[in-house]
Structure 1
Amino acid sequence: MRRLKTIIDDLLVLARLRAGDPAAYEPIDVGALVTEEAAALTGGVPVHVDADRDVRVLGNRIQLIRVIDNLLVNARRHAGTTVEVTVRRAEGSAVITVQDDGAGIAPQDRERVFEPFVRLDDGRRREPGGSGLGLSISRDIAHAHNGTLTTEDSSRGARFVLRLPTTDRRPPAPGTPGSAPDRPVTQGDSRVEEA
């Protein structure tokens, strides 16, 4: 019964994301968020975080926590001894990489793992009760934040990379051409794009 409730809840989240339901957005330091979520994990495979400071994105905190938690739990499930997480700022994006040292994902399955209800054999063996919706929801959340979630080549294990646009581009100084008065970003703001 509990598993059925989890699946129904996940399907409702997926439906809301795909319908473009509005969500409250705020500036978030993703390095701090990732560090906090990793520190909250107890027992199991250790997670090591190397995060740049003050890497900010505009996003929904609850949704971003869900993506990060999904990636961390997934990596720990498949890791042999460790999970390595980095948060970097690169070319206008926050780049969050979650890497485990497990068996990895075959190239032909790297896109398939993001489809709803897809569970590879190793995942079913390690967690028989999973729904196969976590990565699909995570990718939809990334898209809702104008970002991407992909798997990338790795010399060992699986490597998931979440890219989100940063908010740290410096605005023009007040009084210069192109400058605008500072104002808070609100849900109806045209700068907040919904997927």
Structure 2
Amino acid sequence: MRVVLGIDVSKVSSEVAILVNGEKVHGYTMANDAIGFSRLLGDLKTVHKPEIIFEATGVYSRRLQAFLDEHGYAYIRLNPLEAKKQLDSLRVRKTDQIDAEKLANKQAETINRAVKSLLSQYPIRSITSDNGSEFSSLSDLKGVEVYFAHPYASHERGTNENFNGLLREFLPKGVSLNSLTTEELNHYVSAINDRPRRLHKYKTANILFGLAQTA
């Protein structure tokens, strides 16, 4: 079994993609700190002779390189041009399109019902949740990998945290979400999906998602 970890290193965090026999099975965002490297080490220890690939980004990648050297892991360090070719191929197509649903309550059964509805609409391969009791039954879902973030590690659910921040632009902190109507939520979600994103060279999530469906 060939296991490859592709690590896209930036200033404060890194994107990790894990492939088994050429197929991506998991991916997550880790902080470039002791907590993030501890999680990476845990993943590495579960694999026999993992192949590790990352881009040489000067000062940003030195800490990762020192960490791997310290723990005796071999790695392939690519120049920026070659890394772009390699790491882009490791990423699952990501559009950052979001969806949201107003729920009647926070019971596990209600959460699972809503998630099953989303699974029927989108090709979702994995879910990363926090450890709240309302998510305790997610592991019962079929056909999708479910992961639970470590306590106090919101960076492991980076996409979710980013959406929360975007939604709070419409509903600032301190404003209760209890009175939010389904129509209002749909309007805010639509506005976020139609917003040009610098990350995607100022394309919108809706445009990228539409392109992904025809690729």
TM-score tier (shorter): under 0.3
Q: TM-score, normalised by structure 1?
A: 0.25
Q: TM-score, normalised by structure 2?
A: 0.23
Greater fraction helix: 2
Q: Greater relative contact order: 1 or 2 (C-alpha under 8 angstroms, separation 6 or more)? A: 1
Larger Rg computed on CA atoms: 2
